[in-house]
């Protein structure tokens, strides 16, 4: 009988401890696989969709939060800027294009983004811009009047809205705690799928956001007046568009202009800050995400280490339990290398099985996590791509498995045949 069949037979005889060892190895490997693949794929997507603008100007705060909230709709804005700040930057001789962004409302969890039509339509100067070049109208038309909106592809699919549909927005981003406005939006267009943040956003004119937020402010005043017994009537000149604040300004500079120099000038002020989106996302992954990645990888490595130690223990006890069988094999002509190889094959087989199962499970976990990422940020990742760091991890696991089998294997071939034959 081939040596591998003998090893399989012995392993099957202790199948429950063997299956437990395979499971432990698989869990550790799956966590390592998921973390390395997800990090590589998500970083690629975040950096690609943050590379469309030279600068992002917002109220002073956390730079990573500014990028995540403005470009990926994953965090809350840090504050607001006056419309005058946008007008000043738009007229700056170094700026080719400036795009104001106002975020304050949502519908079923999808952010409503106030901007200008050119953000959707683009122009000749935006050729090759990955943040905007993928934005095109698939159905209907873009917004041209206040309270008209263009839906991202995923919003249209998930929210059940179509051309001509009307809906009422929620103040803020919490669908359960947020307060609904009394102004309604009308859908005039749907964007083509971009596999990016635009898929989970609702775009409209700046004035639409101001009107909705102004409506909310008037409703709050109504409530306060009612609590105090005051009249509900507004002054004759009251307007729902009581605010003209914006969340951020996206800048596309003219060729040859220095983003670093302009950012430094803006950052010297007291009300606004400027960041380079791609560089900020690179820092975010190096600093913030690196810590989380290290923790998860360490957890995976600990699980693998524990499973390897468990494997070594199982193999050692197996040698002690089968010492008579091994002695009979030696007496019938099996060499010491055959006995050594038998124990090693058993250990390697368990580790290889756990590694293969863990790799498959890790990519399934990445696929599931990718679904959640697409739902919240619109980013589509390839969960089946094998990262270089993942390929480097598998041989290390196998080497650990081989090492774990060496001591039991040495113990097996060094045993005295005569002694083991007479022992019961």
So where are the chain's domains? 3-45+285-422, 55-275
36-47 mean pLDDT: 84
Separation of alpha carbons 83 and 78, rounded Å: 16
pLDDT over 90 at 57, yes or no: yes
Are 103 and 173 in contact by the 8 Å Cβ rule? The answer is no
Separation of alpha carbons 182 and 258, rounded Å: 45
Separation of alpha carbons 256 and 238, rounded Å: 46
3-state secondary structure of 174: coil
| Number of C-beta neighbours around residue 159 at 10 A | 18
pLDDT over 70 at 273, yes or no: yes
Separation of alpha carbons 422 and 19, rounded Å: 32
Torsion on CA atoms 25, 27, 32, 35, rounded to nearest 10: 170
For 107, the token pair is 């519908």
Q: 186: which strand partners? A: 148, 166
Q: Count Cβ neighbours within 10 Å for each residue of 122-157 and write b for 16 or more, e otherwise.
A: beeebeebebbebbeeebbebbeebbbbbbbbbbbe
Residue 377's pLDDT is 81
pLDDT over 90 at 11, yes or no: no
Helix 15-49 vs helix 388-414: angle between axes, to the nearest 10 degrees?
Answer: 160
Element (H, E) at 185: strand 180-191
Q: What is the DSSP string of 204-256?
A: EEHHHHHHHHHHHHHHHHHHHHHHHT---PPPTT--S-----BSEEEEEEPTT
- Quote the distance between the C-alpha of residue 89 and its chain's center: 32
Residue 275's pLDDT is 94
pLDDT in tens, 326-342: 666 666 656 666 777 77
Q: Which residue has the higher pLDDT, 91 or 238?
A: 91
Separation of alpha carbons 252 and 125, rounded Å: 9
pLDDT over 80 at 231, yes or no: no
139-168 mean pLDDT: 92
Separation of alpha carbons 272 and 267, rounded Å: 6
- Rounded to whole angstroms, what are the CA distances from 376 to 108, 109, 320? 12, 9, 55
For 244, the token pair is 């003209």
Least confidently predicted of 1-10, 178-187, 227-236: 227-236
Least confidently predicted of 98-107, 202-211, 318-327, 389-398: 318-327
Least confidently predicted of 135-149, 287-301, 359-373: 287-301
Residue 164's pLDDT is 94
405 CB-side CA count, 13 A: 20
Q: For the chain, what percent of residues have pLDDT higher than 90?
A: 28
Least confidently predicted of 82-91, 96-105, 109-118, 238-247: 238-247
Q: Which residue has the higher pLDDT, 2 or 95?
A: 95
- Position 42 confidence tier, pLDDT thresholds 50, 70, 90: confident
């Amino acid at each position: 009988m081939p040596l591998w069949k003998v090893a399989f037979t012995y392993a099957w005889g202790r199948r429950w401890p063997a299956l437990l060892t395979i499971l432990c190895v698989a869990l550790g490997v799956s966590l390592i696989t998921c973390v390395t693949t997800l990090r590589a794929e998500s970083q690629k997507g975040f950096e690609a969709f943050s590379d469309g603008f030279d600068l992002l100007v917002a109220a002073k705060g956390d730079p990573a939060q500014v990028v995540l909230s403005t470009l990926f709709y994953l965090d809350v804005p840090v504050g607001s800027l006056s419309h005058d700040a946008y007008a000043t930057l738009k007229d700056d001789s170094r700026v080719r294009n400036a795009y104001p962004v106002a975020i304050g409302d949502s519908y079923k969890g999808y952010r409503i983004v106030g901007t200008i039509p050119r953000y959707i339509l683009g122009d000749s100067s935006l050729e090759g811009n990955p943040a905007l070049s993928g934005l095109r109208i698939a159905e209907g038309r873009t917004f041209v009047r206040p309270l008209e909106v263009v839906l991202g592809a995923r919003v249209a699919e998930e929210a059940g809205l179509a051309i001509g549909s009307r809906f009422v927005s929620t103040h803020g981003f919490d669908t359960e705690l947020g307060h609904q406005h009394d102004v309604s939006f009308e859908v005039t267009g749907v964007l083509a799928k971009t596999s990016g943040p635009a898929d989970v956003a609702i775009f409209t004119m700046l004035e639409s956001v101001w009107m909705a937020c102004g409506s909310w402010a008037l409703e709050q005043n109504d409530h306060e007046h009612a609590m105090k017994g005051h009249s509900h009537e507004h002054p004759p000149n009251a307007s729902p568009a009581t605010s003209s604040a914006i969340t951020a300004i996206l800048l596309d500079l003219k060729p040859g202009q220095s983003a670093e120099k302009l950012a430094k000038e803006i950052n010297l002020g007291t009300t606004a800050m400027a960041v380079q989106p791609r560089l900020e996302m690179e820092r975010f992954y190096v600093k913030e995400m690196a810590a989380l990645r290290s923790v998860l990888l360490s957890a995976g490595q600990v699980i693998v280490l524990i499973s390897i130690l468990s494997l070594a223990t199982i193999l050692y006890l197996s040698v002690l339990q089968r010492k008579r069988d091994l002695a009979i094999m030696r007496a019938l002509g099996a060499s010491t290398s055959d006995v050594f190889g038998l124990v090693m094959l058993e250990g390697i087989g368990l580790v290889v099985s756990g590694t293969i199962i863990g790799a498959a499970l890790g990519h399934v976990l990445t696929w599931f996590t990718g679904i959640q990422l697409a739902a919240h940020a619109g980013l589509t990742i390839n969960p089946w791509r094998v990262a270089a760091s993942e390929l480097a991890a598998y041989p290390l696991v196998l080497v650990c498995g081989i090492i774990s089998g060496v001591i039991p294997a040495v113990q097996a071939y060094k045993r005295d045949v005569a002694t083991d034959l007479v022992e019961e």
